[in-house]
Amino acid sequence: MEVYRDELSVRTSKRLEILDITDQVKESISRSGILEGFVILWEPHTTATIAVNEGDPELWQDILDTFTRLVPIDRGYRHNAKYRGIPGEQNAHAHILNCLCGPSISIPLVEGRLTLGTWQRILFIELDGPRSRRVFLQVVGE
């Protein structure tokens, strides 16, 4: 069993934003040389998340609109009240959405390629930007 690790940098430019990181993930998997196994994507942040879905910017806006309709940015959260006056901590909505969506995704590899379906792209979802973000990537296999 080989374990290859890498870290991607993601620079977000808005409060809420979706970025397609599929190509960066593919390059990293190529560098690993691993053919049969899987990749674990892990984002070490509590106010962003990762998903796998279509590469359609209109859909991305639908996703973000729905997220903030269900979990509004301003809603009298205890977390925000506790850190009142600290702009970077008015982000309970982002923490809650991270709990719903999760911080990791594991994707099988076959012959060195991600088993993504036709419409699947790997999406980094910023929920409290703009910020510099990291995605930890671990390729495991042979």
Helices H / strands E in the chain, number of each: 4, 8
Q: What is the distance of C-alpha 19 from the center of its chain?
A: 8
Structure tokens at 1: 């069993």
Residue 86 interacting with a second copy (CB under 8 A): no
Q: Which stretch binds a second copy (CB under 8 A): 9-17, 21-29, 114-122?
A: 114-122
Q: Which stretch binds a second copy (CB under 8 A): 8-16, 20-28, 115-123?
A: 115-123
Q: Which stretch binds a second copy (CB under 8 A): 8-16, 25-33, 52-60?
A: 52-60
Alpha helices in 17-125 (DSSP H): 22-32, 57-70, 78-82, 92-101
Residue 1 interacting with a second copy (CB under 8 A): yes
Binding mask 89-108 for a second copy (x = CB under 8 A): ---x--xx-xxxxxxxxxxx
Kindly determine how many residues on this chain lie close enough to bind a second copy according to the rule CB under 8 A: 57
For tokens 């959260």, name the residue: 77
Amino acid at 60: W
Q: For residues 141 and 76, is the Cβ–Cβ distance under 8 A?
A: no
- From the CB of 5, what's the least distance to a second copy, in Å? 7
Coil, strand or helix at 126: strand
- Selected from 11, 23, 74, 110, the binder of a second copy by CB under 8 A is 110
Write out the binding residues for a second copy, residues 18-47 only, by CB under 8 A. Answer: 36-38, 40, 42, 44-46
